[in-house]
Structure formats: structure tokens, C-alpha cells
Structure 1
Amino acid sequence: MVKMYNRESKRVAIGGIVTLLSTLSLYMSSILPTNRLFFFALSTFFLASIVIEINTKFAILVYISSALLSFIMIPNKTIVLPYIIFFGYYAIIKSIIERINMLLIEILIKLFLFNLSIYIEYTIFSKVLLGDIMFKLPAWILFILIQLAFIIYDYSFSICIYFYRTKIRTRTKK
């Protein structure tokens, strides 16, 4: 019985720490705009550690708590939207999709979800918050560049997860 409480206490503590770190990284993205994408990716990596160390269901709770806390604490709500719409849950979705174990289908599903989130963000920002958004590049070039950026992001994220599992996790489990 004592071990059960210790395990549950450990999960809650780790969840609280990851919620704090995710919220802090989003706050940093609001005050350091040149590193915004780095801090979004960092917040995703923190959630990946919950998926790896605990489970997907608990990671969903941590994602929700991080999103709510960030929405309450960060004055610039436009910073929180990309986290809520894509970056926050991507580690969870990635772990579920990669269980399919068919690379082409995995990539297509991830690209579909990414493009859906881009569409939602674009709609929110252009129709509700900012008005018409003008781009210097033609739409088709921008579309291709965004797809390439996502594929690079996904691959880099996979490398970070591999590094976490093989280097960091093995050292902390000893």
C-alpha cells in the first residue's frame, strides 16, 4: 500500500514539474520572440517525457493542466494558441501514431493533423485576432516550406526522444 502511494505521489510530482516547465517555456517564448519555435518544441519535449515515463492518459492530463495554466498566466494569449492547437499534444499524438509502425501512413497522418492545426491557427489569427494576413511568398511555396519544416521538426523530435530514452533515461534509472 505504501508503494502505491509513493508511485502515485511520484507521478503527480513529475506531472507538476512538467506542467511548470511547459508553462515556463511558453512564457519564455512570449518574452524572447526570436526563439519562439525552440520554446514551443521544448514544451513538446517535456510532455514526451511524461508519455515515456508514465503513460499517455497521464500525459493528456498534464497537457490540459499546462494549457490551462499557460492560458491563465501568460498575458499574450496568441502565444498559448499554437501550444493548445498543436505543440502541446503533439508528443501524445506522435506516440499513438507511431504505434501503427508503417512509416508512410504515419507521415501522412502526422502531415494531415499538422495541416489541420495550421488551418485552424490561420483561421483564428486571420478571422478573429489579426484580420487579413499577407505573405511575401506565393501560397504554394509557403505550403511546401511549411511541410518541409514540419518533417524536419518531426525527425528532430524523434532524435530527441531517442536521445532521452538511450542516454538520459538510462542514467536516471540507475
Structure 2
Amino acid sequence: MHVKAKTVAFGGLLLAMTVVFMALGSIIETSTLFLLAAASFFVGIVVREFGLKTGGAFYIAAVLLGFITAPNKFYVLTFAAMGLYIWGIEAVWRWLEKRPGMLQRHKVFWISKYVIFNIVYIPIVFAFRDLLFAQSVSDALMIGVVVGGQIGLFIYDRAYDYVQAHIWGKMRGRFL
């Protein structure tokens, strides 16, 4: 019973911080992407500490609470895409851990990261073209946006790895 209570309490604390970061992203416009990325990193922390099911429940709760509390719903959708990516790569990592004999697991993991990202990113860019851009954009500019997203993914993913390894790795013992 103690373990479940600890999981719920810690998950609730991280959920509160996630929603606060989403709301702050609406208020502090210059740091929106940073705050949304930081909020999505909490999904990865919950997955790594408590498993995919608990991480999935945390992710759904964060998105629902974000829609209820955050002033800008578009930022909640951005968080939802980022959090889904984090949950997806953690699921792939766990799948690969169960297959130690698989060749080139590192390459499979990186390819999986870009596949998961593009499954989310490319449909959003093309389906919400009018919402994302104030005026009509050319196909060449859309290709530039897609390529820029790949570069952004690389930076976002490196930041996530750094947070998990260095920041959360040092703080983990104090909370759990």
C-alpha cells in the first residue's frame, strides 16, 4: 500500500508542476516552447519511475487538466504532441531493452524517434497549415518547416536526454 500512495503523491506533484508549466507557457510568451518542453519531460520521468501504464495515465491526466486550466488551448495541443513523443520513445526503449540480442539497437532507437516524431509532426504541419501560418506559404517553405522540425527534434531530444541523465539523475534520490 505504501508504494501506491507514494506513486500517487509523487505523480500528483509532477502533474501539478506540468499544468503550472503549461499555464506559464501562456503567460510568459518568450519562453513558451521551453516551458512546454519542460512540462513534457515530466511524462518521461513518470514513465521511467513507474512504468508505461502509469505514464500513459499521467499523460492523459495532464492533457485533460491542461484543457481545463491553461488559458491557451493551442499550447496544450503542443504539449500533447511533445508528451506523446516522450511516451512513445520510452515505450520503444522498453521494447528494445527486452531484446538484447537485436543488432544495431541504437540505430533502431534513433530511427524510431524520428518515425514517432514525424507521425505526429507532419500531419499537424499540413493539416493545420492555415492555423499555423498567417498567410499562404509555398511548398518550398513547407519543406523548410519540415526540415526545421527535424533539427528541432534533435535539439529537443538532446535536452530530454540531458534532463533525464543529469538533472533528474541527481534529484531522483531526494524525491524517491
Between the aligned partners of 2:50 and 2:167, the Cα distance in structure 1 is 14
Structure 2 counterpart SS, 1:75 = coil
Query: 5+ residue gaps in structure 2?
Result: 98-104
Which one-letter code corresponds to 2:84 in the other structure?
A: Y
Indicate the residue corresponding to 2:18 in structure 1.
22
- Which one of the candidate residues 12, 19, 28 is aligned to 1:32? 28
Indicate the residue corresponding to 1:115 in structure 2.
118
Between the aligned partners of 2:71 and 2:59, the Cα distance in structure 1 is 19
1:161 aligns to 2:161 (yes or no): no
Decide whether aligned partners of structure 1 residues 130 and 51 sit closer, same or farther in structure 2, where only a CA change above 3 A counts.
closer
Structure 2 counterpart SS, 1:91 = helix
1:81 aligns to 2:77 (yes or no): yes
Q: Does the CA-based 8 Å contact 1:15-1:50 persist in structure 2? A: yes
1:97 aligns to 2:92 (yes or no): yes
1:131-166 deviations in Å (ceiling 9; x for gaps): 875458733333222211101211221121111453
Q: Does the CA-based 8 Å contact 1:82-1:121 persist in structure 2? A: no
Between the aligned partners of 1:140 and 1:124, the Cα distance in structure 2 is 14
Decide whether aligned partners of structure 1 residues 172 and 13 sit closer, same or farther in structure 2, where only a CA change above 3 A counts.
closer
Q: Percent identity?
A: 26
1:69-118 deviations in Å (ceiling 9; x for gaps): 1111123211111122x112333222122242612221222112212211
What is the TM-score with the length of structure 1 in the denominator?
0.82
The total of aligned residue pairs comes to 167
Q: Does the CA-based 8 Å contact 1:51-1:91 persist in structure 2? A: no
Indicate the residue corresponding to 2:50 in structure 1.
54
Decide whether aligned partners of structure 1 residues 117 and 94 sit closer, same or farther in structure 2, where only a CA change above 3 A counts.
same
What is the TM-score with the length of structure 2 in the denominator?
0.82
